[in-house]
Amino acid sequence: MGKPAASRRQTGRVGQLLFVAQQAAQALAVERLEPLGLSPRAWGVLSTLAESGPLTQIELATRMAIDRTAMVYLLDDLEQRALVERVRSLQDRRAFLIHLTQAGRDAQRRAAAALDGAADTLLTPLNQAERRQLIDLLARIADHWEQLSDTPPRPGRQPTRATGNEAAAGPRARRRPPTPG
């Protein structure tokens, strides 16, 4: 016999619900990317570079909310596999721009095809209008977080207007915590 309805009820805690949804999305991504030799983070680097073009290591780490040191190790691995290359920036000779190689573009396309349908699997309980609304709401949260983190908005995205409460949050709230795993 199943659990009573009261014990099956989901929490109203936003953070916990987002975490559970993220874990489900992560499991689907791992299942589809592992046969290609990619992790979700590696896929994130490849897809971010495919969408935005070359970025510095710091810009890439900030955009993906990954600790800078972890990003270095991730890029070392991707560079060793000839999926990305570091090219010294012409504007700032101390910085390197991360470029996708042809092999990186090919891997990104294969991974995108492998992930095709993962969103449908994850979002099965939602109709099309609810899916669009969820994506729009999550994009607004991501844009707002980027604004608080002093990062440029993602290409093709309109930045969300500030609410005026940012100063009250203090400087610690503006920094992205490192992403675990």
Q: What is the residue-level pLDDT of the chain in tens, covering all 181 positions?
A: 455 544 556 778 999 999 999 999 999 999 999 999 999 999 999 999 999 999 999 999 988 889 999 999 999 999 999 999 999 988 888 889 999 999 999 999 999 999 988 989 999 999 999 999 999 999 999 888 877 875 454 555 444 433 333 333 333 333 344 444 4
Side-chain half-sphere of 104: how many Cα atoms within 13 Å? 27
Is residue 174 within 8 A of residue 150, CB to CB? The reply is yes
Q: Which of 67, 97, 53 is nearest to 79 (CA)?
A: 97
Predicted local distance difference test score (pLDDT) of residue 131: 95
* Cα distance between residue 98 and residue 132, in whole Å: 32
Q: What is the pLDDT of residue 2?
A: 52
N residues, the chain: 181
Structure tokens at 134: 């969820």
* CA distances from residue 91 to 16, 55, 57, 60, 159 in whole angstroms, order as listed: 42, 12, 14, 17, 25
Q: Which amino acid is at 170?
A: G
Q: Calculate the alpha carbon distances from 75 to 37, 128, 151, 180 in Å.
A: 15, 36, 20, 17
Strands (E), 12-165: 55-56, 84-88, 96-100
Sign of CA dihedral 146, 147, 150, 155: positive
pLDDT for position 150: 59
